């Protein structure tokens, strides 16, 4: 399987992402510069975290105009799997590939902490190696991860099981006081209505080895690999 890892000016988590899918999970991976408009050689696309274009205007607001975004849109329209992590999630929302918006954290602080995520839907290509209700220990690092959308959109996400993860405690309890950024309904990750595009604020690539604090993030990449090419041990 070949992952394409998109790099914009200001992206900073591409090497960690490459290590997770190639160094740890032994999959082929290649960087994609944002000016590229042909990504047909890849099986899955990852938009990693960082500060594309210095987060000027809004996070992801400039990156959405890069040539690669149109290629990603076409890739997703054909059913190709796309995951946006942190800034990648913001770019997907700005590009209209996912609904909603990521706003300033409600406490107006940049938070770099480990979080616990409760799996809300394990029946996706990104979560099939997890169990619904399972808690994943994955770090976050952002100042604008406060997911918001209008009431109709939120209700649709809830009704259609498009919420992938919620912020919770280590036992899987979801509560307002656990919410690290103010996201509505403790939402940490969502999928599109076709089920092939996911965005999440926490960083699974930074939870790829027990040596660095945990390897729960591998379950997300393993799910993608399993659904595309077969089970990975």
Could you tell me which residues come within 8 angstroms of residue 119 by beta carbon, excluding any fewer than 6 positions away?
A: 127, 130, 131, 132, 133, 134, 135, 136, 164, 165
Q: 205 an active-site residue? A: yes
Residue located via tokens 């946006």? 84
Residue located via tokens 């047909």? 40
Q: 137 an active-site residue? A: no
Burial class (CB in 10 A: 0-12, 13-18, 19+), 61: middle
Beta partners for 229?
none
Of residues 18, 34, 142, 203, which has the active-site annotation?
A: 203
Of residues 18, 59, 86, 142, which has the active-site annotation?
A: 86
CB count in 10 Å sphere of residue 66: 22
Of residues 14, 94, 120, 205, which has the active-site annotation?
A: 205
Annotated catalytic residues are: 86, 203, 205
């Amino acid at each position: 399987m070949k992952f394409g890892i998109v790099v914009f000016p200001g992206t900073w988590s591409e090497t960690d992402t490459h290590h997770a899918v190639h160094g740890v999970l032994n999959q082929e991976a290649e960087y994609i510069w944002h000016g590229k408009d042909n990504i047909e050689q890849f099986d899955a696309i990852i938009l990693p975290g960082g500060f594309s274009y210095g987060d000027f205007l809004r996070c992801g607001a400039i990156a959405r105009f890069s040539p690669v975004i149109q290629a990603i849109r076409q890739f997703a329209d054909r059913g190709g799997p796309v995951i946006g992590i942190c800034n990648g999630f913001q770019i997907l929302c700005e590009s209209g590939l996912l609904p909603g918006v990521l706003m300033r954290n409600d406490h107006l602080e940049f938070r770099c902490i480990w979080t616990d995520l409760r799996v809300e839907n394990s029946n996706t290509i990104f979560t099939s190696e997890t169990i619904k209700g399972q808690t994943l220990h994955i770090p976050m690092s952002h100042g604008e991860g406060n997911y918001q959308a209008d009431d109709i959109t939120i209700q649709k996400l809830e009704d259609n099981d498009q919420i992938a993860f919620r912020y919770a405690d280590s036992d899987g309890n979801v509560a307002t006081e656990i919410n690290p950024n103010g996201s509505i309904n403790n939402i940490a990750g969502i999928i599109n209505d076709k089920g092939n595009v996911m965005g999440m604020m926490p960083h699974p690539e930074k939870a790829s080895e027990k040596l660095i604090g945990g390897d729960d993030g591998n379950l997300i990449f393993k799910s993608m690999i399993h659904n595309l090419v077969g089970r990975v041990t």
